[in-house]
Structure formats: structure tokens, C-alpha cells
Structure 1
Amino acid sequence: MPTIDLNADLGETTAGNPVADDAAMVSLVSSANVATGYHAGDPHAIRTTLRAAADNGVTVGAHPAYNDPAGFGRRFLDYDLAQLADEILYQIGAVDALARSVGTQVSYVKPHGALYNTIVHNEVHARAVIDAIRAFDRELAVMLLPGGVAVDIAQQRGLRVIAEAFADRGYNPDGTLVKRGTPGAVLTDADAVADRVRRIATDGSLVAVDGTVLNVGAESVCVHGDSPGSVELTRAIVEKLKADGIDLRSVL
């Protein structure tokens, strides 16, 4: 039976202002990328989401970002390696402390937003992320976009890499994501998104915005909790997987 991990970016409520229905999303996915407070989220909201993940048997990942709440972590910020590594380490530790207080723990790290996209090609920032993960726990996995320099560095340093694809984001023909705010960047058609996830689970491929077929070989697929209609979108994915005999299961 084919299997796939379905993950979502959660824990991003700040000062009581939610950007996603975390309770609903955590009941559907198998892994949760939980915000750390640097792009969004506050300790109470983060811990609430972690408790829901623990209650639903959902695997927890830390979702560290550039220190940019005003830009929701979606803008590039320049750092030297040591400063960025320390900030990533701090964020992982904070989420893991909250996770352990509710009976779970951080099992992997998935960088957020601009940081995630930057380490596809920026070696300095990629090394900072990998150094921070190894400083915290060399057994942690790291979830990354296939083909980037961060993948090479992580593998060289002995970390397990979880290859990720996106259910609801447009792809360029080179395998990078279409920049947010441009046509085709975010997909909202539930049937089309569900079909994409089924295709990834069965043959490891997806179709880019120009029709190019990309072989992504992903172990995990992300659906964004803050996308329009995200709960309905995710429910459609889960129903499609079940109907096609594809098992939804965490990688870890």
C-alpha cells in the first residue's frame, strides 16, 4: 500500500488572532510544523497546538524562521552564520520545551518561509540551519525542498533529510516554488490539489506551472493552514487518499 505523510504549518496564532483552524487541521494531518514565535505564534497558542498534536498522535516538527513577525517570515534577512545558527537553536529549544510539557517532543525541523526558500541556494544560511539542528540533537530530521544546497549539507553532516513537496503551491520548472503574490503561486481548487497529492504518493511526480513534469520523490506533502479554505482542502486530500487506498502516515 502506498503511504504519504501530510504536514501543515500550525501554531501561528498571535495575541489571540488565529490565521488557521489548528484544531481542525491537526485532526487531519500526520505531522505538524509548529511555529516558534519568530514569524508568528506566542507561547500559549504554540502550546495549545502542541497539546492538540499530542492528543491526536501527530508528529511534531519545529518551524523556525527569520526574526520577522512584521513580514510573517516571508522576507529575506541577512545574517552571519553564527547569529542565525544561534537563533535557530533557540527556536527549536523553545518549541521542544513546550512540546515536552504536553507529552510530546520535536522530531524534525522544517524551516519557514523565506528561510526555507533561501537555503535552497544560500550556503551560509543553509549551514547555519544544519549547524543549529546538530547542536540541538543529531538525531533530528530536517524537512527540505529536494535539490537544494541545504539537502547536500544535511546529508554530509549525517542528518536525515525528509524530502517535501507542496500540495497547494505552484512550482517553477526548475523545482523551486512560484513566488507568493504572482499568478499560480497558491492553488485553491480542492480536487486539483487532492489529485496532486495522490500523484506524488503514487509516482513521486507533480506538474509545474508550465506543464513540466517534475520528479520530486517526496516523503511528505505540505498543505498550508493559512491558505483560503485550508480545512476543506485538506479534508479533500485525506478523502482522496483513503478512496485510492493510500495510507496517511508520519515519516517518523
Structure 2
Amino acid sequence: MNAPYPIDQFKKFKYDITRFLMTYKFALDHMETKIDVLKEEFQSLHDYNPIEHTKSRLKTPESIMNKMFRKNHELSFDSIKHHIKDIAGLRITCSFISDIYRVQELLCGQSDLRVLEVKDYIKNPKPNGYQSLHVLVDVPVYMSDGEQRACVEIQIRTIAMDFWASLEHKIFYKYNKEVPERLTQELKCAADAANALDLQMERLHREIQEIKDADDAAEQELQRIVIQNQQFALPSNLLKLLGGGGGD
């Protein structure tokens, strides 16, 4: 039997690579829908949204092939799926460090996701000062021929961490030589400054929230009376008359 014509081989490869990448694209869509649900729920029910913004990206076929060649892996779809875990990437930027772990807990607690790996570069920063929480999750994708699974790398970081990482990438983009020690130390100092800012802003946020909670408790205390261990709310019309609130 004659071998397929080159054009037929090309068409098959194009079909296979398109379908392969579509699985990862749909996995990203699935994760972004989850994030949108969380954002809307927080905003509607808690009047506070820990997620500032998200950004997703899908590796190009060229980038995937280059990485496979650099690591000297067999070039097959099974090998790519096994060795490259960041084909689909999702970055979540949060307001505060505590929000990072809250978002991680909410996402990883969802029953359809399988957590494959967690790397905490916040508690254990990289030598250059890089901080972020990396989570690999296995995501279900429902194609026409049944369920497929695709790995998505989620990076969760604060605004300050993202600012530092973005500028670090621009500074050293396509610089493949060893960085001088003096510049490495300056970069680490900048990362430490960003971390100090994160800690300070989180402390301010926590203290302001405590003040607001105390004010709310005091206001509620003024709007009720206790008679023989029973609590009674003061009528709103009386509070209006006394200037104690309760207005529209």
C-alpha cells in the first residue's frame, strides 16, 4: 500500500495540532469562567473582590517545539503532554497576600479539578527575589468524542509581585548570559521592597477593616435597647427624629 501523499500528511498534522491546542484553549476558557463566577459572587455578596485581574496565554506550536528540542524529548503529542505543563497559563493578580491563598483554596476545592502540583515561591522565593504561587491543575474538557484532560498552570500573585516580575522580564528579556552579582543583588533588593510594600498594605487593610467593624458594632449597639435580657430594635422613625440614622 502506497504511503500517504505529503499534502495528506500535512493536513492530518494540522488537524491533530489544532485539536491538541484547542483542548488547552477550552481548559483555559473553563478556568476563566470559574474566575468570573468567583469575582461576581464576591462583589455581590461580600462587597469586596480579592481578584484584581486575570491574564491567560497559550503557547504557540513553535514555542512548544523549541522547548521539546531544548530538553531533548521525543516529539509526539503524548510526550508533549507529559513533559510540558505550562502550555496553558493563567495569571491571577490579587490585592493582598492573604487573597492569594484564599483564591487558591477556593479554586483547588472545586471537585472537577485535580491539583497536580503546588510551588509556593512566596514562602520560598527564588534566589533573584521572584515571588508567586504556582498551581498545576488538571482540567476536564468535554469534546465531541468524550472527556479530555488538560493541564493549566495558574500563577497567583499580588500587584506588587506582578509589577516586579513584569519589569524583571523586560530588563532581562533575551539576555542569556550570567547576570553580574551587583545587579543580581539590586534585583533582590527591589523584590524585598515590593514584599515590604505588600506587607505594609495588608497591615493597613486589616487595621482599617478592624476600625470599620468596630464602628459598625457601635452603631448597631446604639440602634437597640435591652430590657430584662431581651433586645429590641429602636423604631426607624425614632432614629430619624433623633438623627441616629435609619434614613433612606
TM-score > 0.5, shorter chain as reference: no
TM-score (norm 2): 0.25
More helix by share: 2
